[in-house]
């Protein structure tokens, strides 16, 4: 019996390998060797054999791509290291400025760059253990993603397993993480969208949204039926870049069977980078998928580490965004829209026009100043542009014999179109605002802000749901979210038993989010994500924050008089204090970890250079900051210490020149250790 099983196992593995080989030829290389029918026959054979021996089915078998069981929402998983985004540049000058900064910070001029297409999809992390795909995570908020493994398995260009020999040959470890872009080719997008419209379903705005919606389907067989593609561009081990050079990373990924973008280039200098950018600018329409620019990355990992990161993006990479694509169309009307802060934004309602794969029917006109600057009237023909994610905007009025001018001027209403409250324009400000604090439009927008990803993360509480809840008066402030019951939700349109339960689970889960999210969620003017973090860290509780004076608030990192005044104003309003109380009663997190920063290094500025033996750049930076010090990127007269690791370059020379104290890793440890 044992040997018989062994035989079948062997037979199964051979068959699987054969299929994997052909999948790779077909889906990754686009060079099939078999006809579809021949391929299907192989697959049928495998299915049959597996059906006879269900105990021998493995999760990485090609048969397992096609839809497993439906899932109950997605589990959230922390990323091995944050999934960052990229800073953008829009001109050659900006790109050159970035290059100068790279030279300055690294102290080198001979920097090589890798140029890649900036694929307009969604980033996705794939975890492999022992060469097998074990997890697929969306980017989520960058720190935590959603486990979409069942859906990722259905993507044909994602290898489900890679043999040890193959990995070894490519110099790759057995446990690793690949990050890359998941996307939907334009052709498939158009076809599927047309089908959806025919069925009366809402069309997706662009291929990126379609891909994102597809990988987050709760029913993997739906994902399986839609052609998604995946391109790898990063290789990590335990959250850190694996190879010494980015160029080698992509080669290795390609060798082991990932789809990588063949349109890449190793550039010896910025001239070559610029050539690549220009080369693709005119050709991007010929690609089967959308790109919105070019990504330029410093090739050497050691240099990347030296350059480090700003808040959300690496300093060692930059995106060059192609100019927005535009079209000429007619303004049928201009209608003000009321936002969370009560701001009225004039929105142009357009004759629908396709721009870069999306139909555009609205464009922002920002405010009255902009309308006057453009001299735009209702009935005018205008140039409309859309850049990537940004809301389309009107850039100029077009006037010629085919495009006669419109005649009707737009006036901002004196009363809010949503609540009838007074609309005012404060001296010196460009914006008109509705002054009624209870304006339902503000309510709707503030509930949306509260629920959104990156704030309280209540998945499923999007536009449609929030509108219903606020329109029906079921949610009058954000605390009401925590009073919703299943019966409440079931009264709403398009809300079944399962979705209602999902929303309730999400609401429940949001209570565990840390204090900084709650602070951010309150929607205090000028208090963004980062400020909320500093506030939570400094005050350690909502009560301390609520009772802080303007002076105390200004002790917090990056909080100046404007933000401090806004916070005090917010908490002075009794309705806001009451709201905070309701949130507390609902069980949200009101206490945080007050981080005790050491003080002895306060006021001291450090610069790090070269490779440290025991710490990554980020770790060293954190140690110094925890002891109250500051870490800066470049050496100046204000620098107190230069921490020089091995192969420190020009920064050490500069420090010596300026008389800055140069210390080694050990001395840094002592400084930090002694005072922290
Ligand atoms: S590298 C820290 N390479 O663009 C490195 N990103 O705007 C960040 N993207 O979130 C990613 N093509 O989803 C990289 N060749 C490419 C890319 C790429 C598209 C996306 C990615 C990222 C976003 C940032």
Q: Are 609 and 654 in contact (CB under 8 A)?
A: no
Q: Tell how far the Cα of 121 is from the centroid of ligand 1, in angstroms.
A: 9
pLDDT at residue 71, rounded to an integer:
47
Q: Tell how far the Cα of 119 is from the centroid of ligand 1, in angstroms.
A: 7
Q: Are 358 and 325 in contact (CB under 8 A)?
A: no
Q: Are 172 and 83 in contact (CB under 8 A)?
A: no
Domain 2-65 belongs in CATH node 3.40.50.970 = no
pLDDT(574) > 70: yes
- Range of lowest pLDDT (234-248, 260-274, 429-443, 537-551): 429-443
115 Cβ below 6 A of ligand 1? no
Catalytic residue, candidates 45, 109, 118, 661: 118
Pocket test for ligand 1, best of 117, 211, 295 (most atoms within 8 A of CB): 295
Edge-first strand listing for the sheet containing 88-89: 88-89, 317-321, 291-298, 113-119, 265-267
Give, in order, the Cα–Cα distances in Å from 61 to each of 159, 240, 257.
10, 29, 16
pLDDT(237) > 90: yes
Q: Tell how far the Cα of 181 is from the centroid of ligand 1, in angstroms.
A: 7
Q: DSSP string covering 550-563, please?
A: HHHHHTSTT--HHH
Ligand 1 nearest atom to the CA of residue 313, by list position: 2
Which residue's entry shows tokens 């196992």? Answer: 9
- Tens-place pLDDT, residues 601-616: 777 889 999 888 888 8
Task: Using pLDDT thresholds of 50, 70 and 90, give the confidence band for residue 390.
Answer: low
559 Cβ below 6 A of ligand 1? no
pLDDT at residue 73, rounded to an integer:
65
Q: Are 294 and 323 in contact (CB under 8 A)?
A: no
Question: Topology of 605-672 in CATH?
Answer: Rossmann fold (3.40.50)
Three-state DSSP class for 82? coil
pLDDT at residue 354, rounded to an integer:
82
**Phi, psi (deg, nearest 5) at residue 328:** -105, 130
**Phi, psi (deg, nearest 5) at residue 267:** -105, 135
pLDDT at residue 14, rounded to an integer:
92
pLDDT at residue 170, rounded to an integer:
97
Mean pLDDT of all residues in 518-524: 93
Burial class (CB in 10 A: 0-12, 13-18, 19+), 531: buried
Mean pLDDT of all residues in 432-436: 84
Look at 188 and 515; give whichever has higher pLDDT.
515
CATH among 3.10.180.10, 3.40.50.720, 3.90.180.10, 3.30.470.30 for 88-321: 3.30.470.30
From 518, 516, 517, 492, select the one nearest 503 (Cα to Cα). 492
Enumerate the H helices of 24-154 as residue ranges: 36-52, 92-106, 149-152
From 302, 303, 181, select the one nearest 253 (Cα to Cα). 181
Annotated active-site residue 190? The verdict is: no
Give, in order, the Cα–Cα distances in Å from 31 to each of 22, 288, 450, 641.
9, 16, 49, 57
Beta bridge partners of 133: 128
H or E element, residue 304: helix 301-307
What residue ranges do the domains of the chain occupy?
A: 2-65, 88-321, 605-672
| pTM of structure | 0.54
**Residue identifier of the C-alpha nearest atom 10 of ligand 1:** 85
CA 256 to chain centre: 27
**Residue identifier of the C-alpha nearest atom 11 of ligand 1:** 85
Q: Are 519 and 536 in contact (CB under 8 A)?
A: yes
- Tens-place pLDDT, residues 5-64: 888 999 999 999 999 888 888 777 767 787 777 887 888 899 999 989 988 988 888 888
Q: Which two tokens stand for residue 209?
A: 């949204």
**Residue identifier of the C-alpha nearest atom 2 of ligand 1:** 84
Three-state DSSP class for 542? helix
pLDDT at residue 357, rounded to an integer:
63
């Amino acid at each position: 019996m044992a040997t018989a099983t062994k035989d079948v196992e062997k037979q199964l593995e051979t068959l699987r390998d054969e299929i994997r080989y052909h999948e790779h030829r077909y889906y990754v290389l686009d060079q099939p060797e078999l006809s579809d029918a021949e391929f299907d026959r192989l697959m049928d054979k495998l299915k049959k054999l597996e059906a006879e021996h269900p105990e021998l089915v493995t999760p990485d078998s090609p048969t397992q791509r096609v839809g497993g069981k439906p899932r109950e929402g997605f589990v959230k998983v922390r990323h091995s290291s944050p999934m960052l985004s990229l800073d953008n540049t829009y001109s050659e000058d900006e790109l050159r400025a970035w290059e100068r900064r790279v030279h300055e910070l690294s102290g080198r001029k001979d920097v090589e760059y890798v140029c890649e297409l900036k694929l307009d999809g969604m980033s996705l992390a794939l975890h492999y253990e022992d060469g097998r795909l074990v997890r697929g995570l969306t980017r989520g908020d960058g720190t935590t993603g959603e486990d979409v493994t069942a859906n990722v398995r259905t993507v044909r260009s994602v290898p489900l397993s890679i043999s040890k020999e193959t990995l070894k040959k490519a110099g790759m470890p057995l446990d690793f993480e690949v990050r890359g872009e998941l996307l939907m080719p334009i052709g498939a997008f158009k076809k599927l969208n047309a089908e959806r419209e025919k069925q009366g379903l809402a069309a997706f705005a662009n291929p990126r949204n379609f891909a994102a919606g597809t990988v987050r389907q709760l029913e993997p067989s739906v994902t399986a039926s839609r052609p998604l593609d995946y391109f790898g561009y990063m290789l990590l081990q335990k959250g850190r870049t694996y190879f010494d050079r980015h160029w080698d990373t992509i080669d290795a990924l390609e060798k082991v069977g990932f789809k990588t973008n063949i349109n890449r280039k190793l550039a010896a200098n910025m001239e070559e980078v610029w050539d690549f950018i220009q080369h693709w600018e005119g050709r991007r329409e010929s690609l089967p998928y959308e790109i919105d620019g070019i990504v330029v990355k410093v090739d050497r990992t050691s240099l990347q580490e030296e350059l480090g990161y700003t808040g959300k993006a690496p300093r060692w990479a930059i995106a060059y965004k192609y100019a927005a694509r535009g079209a000429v169309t007619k303004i049928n009307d201009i209608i003000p829209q009321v936002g969370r802060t009560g701001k009225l934004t004039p929105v142009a309602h357009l004759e629908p026009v396709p721009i870069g794969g999306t139909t555009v029917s609205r464009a922002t006109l920002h405010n009255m100043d902009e309308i006057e600057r453009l001299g735009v009237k209702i009935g005018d023909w205008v140039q409309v542009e859309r850049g990537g994610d940004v809301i389309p905007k009107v850039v100029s009025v077009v006037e010629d014999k085919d495009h006669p001018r419109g005649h009707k001027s737009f006036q901002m209403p004196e009363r809010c179109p949503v609540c009838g409250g007074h609309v005012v324009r404060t001296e010196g400000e460009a914006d008109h605002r509705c002054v009624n604090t209870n304006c339902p439009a503000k309510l709707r927008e503030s509930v949306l802000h509260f629920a959104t990803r990156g704030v309280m993360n209540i998945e499923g509480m999007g536009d449609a749901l929030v509108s219903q809840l606020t329109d029906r008066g079921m949610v009058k402030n954000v605390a009401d979210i925590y009073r919703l019951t299943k019966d409440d939700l079931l009264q709403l349109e398009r809300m079944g038993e399962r979705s209602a339960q999902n929303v309730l689970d999400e609401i429940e889960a949001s209570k565990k989010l840390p204090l900084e999210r709650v602070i951010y969620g309150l929607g205090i003017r000028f208090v963004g994500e980062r400020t909320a973090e500093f506030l939570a860290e400094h005050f350690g509780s909502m009560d301390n924050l609520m009772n802080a004076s303007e002076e105390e608030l200004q002790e917090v990192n990056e909080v100046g008089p404007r933000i401090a005044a806004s916070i005090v104003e917010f908490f002075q309003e009794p309705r806001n204090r009451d709201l905070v109380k309701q949130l507390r009663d609902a069980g949200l997190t009101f206490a945080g970890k007050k981080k005790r920063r050491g003080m002895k290094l306060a006021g001291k500025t450090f610069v790090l250079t070269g490779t440290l033996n025991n710490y990554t750049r980020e770790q060293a930076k954190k140690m110094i900051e925890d002891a109250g010090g500051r870490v800066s990127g470049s050496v100046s007269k204000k620098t107190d210490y230069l921490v020089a690791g091995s192969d420190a370059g020009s920064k050490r020379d500069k420090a010596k020149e300026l008389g800055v104290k140069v210390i080694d890793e050990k001395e840094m440890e002592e400084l930090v250790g002694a005072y922290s």
